[in-house]
Copies of this chain bind each other. A is one copy, B any other.
Amino acid sequence: MAAVVHGYPSTMQDDYQLSMGRLIRQAVRAYPDAEIVHRNSAGEWGRTTYRENFDRIERAAGAFAKLGVEVGDRVGVMDWNSLRHYELYWAIPAIGAVFTQLNIRLPEDDLHYVINDSQASVVVVDETLVPIVENIAPQAKGVKTWVILSEGQIDHNLPNAVYYEDLLADAQPLDSWPNISETSAFAAGYTTGTTGRPKGVFYSHRSQYLHTYNTAKDLSASVDDVIMPITPMFHVLSWGMVQVAVMVGAKLVLPGQFSAETLGEITGALTDEGVTVTNGVPAIFTPMFEVLKSKGVTDLTGLRLLCGGSEPPASLIQSYQETFNAEVVHGYGATETSPIVTVNRVTEAMRERMSQEELNAYGSKQGKASVNIDLKIVDGLGNEVPADGETSGEILLKGPWITASYHGMPEEELADKFVDGYWRSGDVATIDAHGFIKITDRLKDVIKSGGEWISSIDMENAMIGHPKVAQAAVVGLEHPKWDERPFMLLVLRDGETITKDEIDEHLRQRFADWQLPEEFEVVDQIPATSVGKIDKKVIRNQYQDRYK
């Protein structure tokens, strides 16, 4: 990155710190009557307002200070999308401490790793999740106090535990909010990668503030919106939905615990409260569609469903559009990126110009880089790929809400995770002439052969289209000359056999000759992980000498 050049001095208040504390205090002042509709762990709904609830935020801040939490300390939180979770979003950073997200779905081993790595001195946990932390409390020796979120007393065996509601009843509201520097950590999140330990990302007040502005803009959020975060609030801060609501003064709907059983209630809240913005993954929006349809809902005009995690099927986008006049907005991001870095909003001009088929193809793309996000896609040699919608490369990201490192990671380990100040996403994508990106692979699943890339997923999908083939797995194996070469495992349909010529002939419809695998193997079963995905690591190990 070019060195920073200093120009003529400005006269502005450039030392005014961007802080999330200012955000909530100003929202309470500007939008005191904005409603918060919320559902607790017992399934009961309630209503409050920004102004009315603010006293609890200031009491919670006072209570944490009284517990001995100081500026810079980390406080862990493990909860559903509840009102108390919302309060903690603001109360912990209010005293300069770090709101540390604890993912309730982490394996126990990773959970106490996260608590210890973040050095959380206090951990706050919802009553329904106490059984999880009871198991790991003995290994989490740094935790001085456990705080339980509940309606009343509960049975538990946590040491040094107190009740949040008791703390609030005893506390003095915070009397003066410290002026926290904008580069101080506001919150922390940990990656949930499939390999290695979770890695810590510490969001600054500045990064979160700018992410909020940008997401509000990208969603055209306004004071007339009603925002319901479905993505868990322990998952990259629910992608900033709560913060966006507070910035624009929107009504907020906090649906509590989300599960298959509560779909009826949550879709009920969506229609009854007039929700206009929500977020989630395709695996949530798909059953939601069915429930809404079965309830006879016909019009959800104005609703934007921010969809991430994985690619929404074109049929899902089209169904919401045609049945409810609702817009599925596809986005892309990661724990390391706060998370939103691309949003797919098709312009009116494109809508007029393109056929429904073309629009569907666009819907499957992840969209354009947000302003202020420096996104580039580079091939194996680090050169930017052409914007032709076909050539793929790894997505690299730079920007004010992208991480520059991982918590406590030694320099030598960081080296291959960043290049020239860009964070390496590990995602492989194409970019088209409109700047829309489309993710095609994870980098680890791409075969790098002689500086060029071959998509293992595309090749698997192509082979599954062969009438003799039931399953296919393609991996890259080390090769002395070409770095890697593709290798294929096939499970055939009953009684079939297949030749290399037959494979080549079939693959030539989509692949160049140099991309075709020299070797393959027919097997009875393809190695799989516990969740049923192809275990490429096992395959690579088993056949590692094939091209050597």
B183 and A23 contacting across the interface, CB-CB below 8 Å: no
Question: Which residue of B is nearest A224, CB measured?
Answer: B348
Interface 0/1 of A13-41, CB less than 8 Å to B:
11111100011001101111100000000
B203 and A5 contacting across the interface, CB-CB below 8 Å: no
Given A14-B204, A203-B10, A217-B248: A179 and B30 interface contact (C-beta under 8 Å): no
A478 to chain B, nearest CB (A): 33
A5 and B371 contacting across the interface, CB-CB below 8 Å: no
B14 and A71 contacting across the interface, CB-CB below 8 Å: no
Given A30-B369, A371-B26: A2 and B402 interface contact (C-beta under 8 Å): no
Please indicate the chain B residues that have their CB under 8 angstroms from the CB of A15 in the complex.
4, 404
B181 and A2 contacting across the interface, CB-CB below 8 Å: no
A222 and B224 contacting across the interface, CB-CB below 8 Å: no
Q: Which of A137-145, A206-214, A309-317, A508-516 contacts B (4 or more CB under 8 A)?
A: A206-214
Q: Which of A228-236, A393-401, A464-472 contacts B (4 or more CB under 8 A)?
A: A393-401
B401 and A371 contacting across the interface, CB-CB below 8 Å: no
**A216 interface residue (CB < 8 Å to B):** yes
A98 and B12 contacting across the interface, CB-CB below 8 Å: no
Please indicate the chain B residues that have their CB under 8 angstroms from the CB of A221 in the complex.
217
Please indicate the chain B residues that have their CB under 8 angstroms from the CB of A180 in the complex.
4-7
A547 to chain B, nearest CB (A): 39
**A266 interface residue (CB < 8 Å to B):** no
**A282 interface residue (CB < 8 Å to B):** no
Give the number of times this chain occurs in the complex, counting copies.
2
B13 and A403 contacting across the interface, CB-CB below 8 Å: yes
Q: A30 contacts which of B5, B9, B348, B435 (Cβ < 8 Å)?
A: B435
Q: A204 contacts which of B1, B10, B347 (Cβ < 8 Å)?
A: B10
Given A7-B71, A179-B4, A213-B213: A371 and B27 interface contact (C-beta under 8 Å): yes
A468 to chain B, nearest CB (A): 45
A72 to chain B, nearest CB (A): 4
In the complex, which residues 518-536 of chain A have their Cβ closer than 8 Å to any Cβ of chain B?
A: none
In the complex, which residues 167-194 of chain A have their Cβ closer than 8 Å to any Cβ of chain B?
A: 176, 178-186
Please indicate the chain B residues that have their CB under 8 angstroms from the CB of A30 in the complex.
368-369, 371, 435
In the complex, which residues 25-71 of chain A have their Cβ closer than 8 Å to any Cβ of chain B?
A: 26-27, 29-33, 71
A11 and B201 contacting across the interface, CB-CB below 8 Å: yes
**A365 interface residue (CB < 8 Å to B):** no
Q: A401 contacts which of B8, B12, B405 (Cβ < 8 Å)?
A: B12
Given A13-B402, A214-B213, A349-B33: A8 and B179 interface contact (C-beta under 8 Å): no
B185 and A247 contacting across the interface, CB-CB below 8 Å: no
A367 to chain B, nearest CB (A): 10
Q: A216 contacts which of B4, B96, B217 (Cβ < 8 Å)?
A: B217
Q: A12 contacts which of B8, B33, B181, B402 (Cβ < 8 Å)?
A: B402
A361 to chain B, nearest CB (A): 18
B12 and A400 contacting across the interface, CB-CB below 8 Å: yes
Give the CA-CA distance A406 to B369 in the complex, in Å.
37
Counting chain A residues whose Cβ lies within 8 A of the other chain, the interface size class is 35 or more
A203 to chain B, nearest CB (A): 6
Please indicate the chain B residues that have their CB under 8 angstroms from the CB of A4 in the complex.
15, 17, 179-181
**A345 interface residue (CB < 8 Å to B):** yes
Question: Which residue of B is nearest A9, CB measured?
Answer: B185
Give the CA-CA distance A1 to B181 in the complex, in Å.
13
Give the CA-CA distance A184 to B4 in the complex, in Å.
10
Most chain B CB within a 10 A radius of its CB, from A1, A16, A97, A176? A16
Give the CA-CA distance A61 to B5 in the complex, in Å.
16
**A407 interface residue (CB < 8 Å to B):** yes
A12 and B202 contacting across the interface, CB-CB below 8 Å: yes
A204 and B12 contacting across the interface, CB-CB below 8 Å: yes
Q: A179 contacts which of B2, B9, B178, B204 (Cβ < 8 Å)?
A: B2
**A3 interface residue (CB < 8 Å to B):** yes
A215 to chain B, nearest CB (A): 10
Q: A11 contacts which of B5, B13, B31, B405 (Cβ < 8 Å)?
A: B405
**A421 interface residue (CB < 8 Å to B):** yes
Please indicate the chain B residues that have their CB under 8 angstroms from the CB of A179 in the complex.
1-5
**A74 interface residue (CB < 8 Å to B):** yes
Question: Which residue of B is nearest A176, CB measured?
Answer: B2
Interface 0/1 of A431-458, CB less than 8 Å to B:
0010100000000000000000000000
Q: A7 contacts which of B185, B214, B220 (Cβ < 8 Å)?
A: B185
B7 and A72 contacting across the interface, CB-CB below 8 Å: yes
| A-B contact list, 21 entries, CB within 8 Å | A1-B179, A2-B179, A3-B179, A4-B15, A4-B179, A5-B96, A5-B184, A6-B180, A7-B72, A7-B98, A10-B185, A10-B207, A11-B405, A11-B406, A12-B201, A13-B400, A13-B401, A13-B404, A14-B207, A26-B369, A31-B435
The 8 closest A-B pairs by CB, nearest first: A7-B184, A10-B204, A8-B72, A12-B207, A2-B179, A14-B183, A8-B185, A213-B213
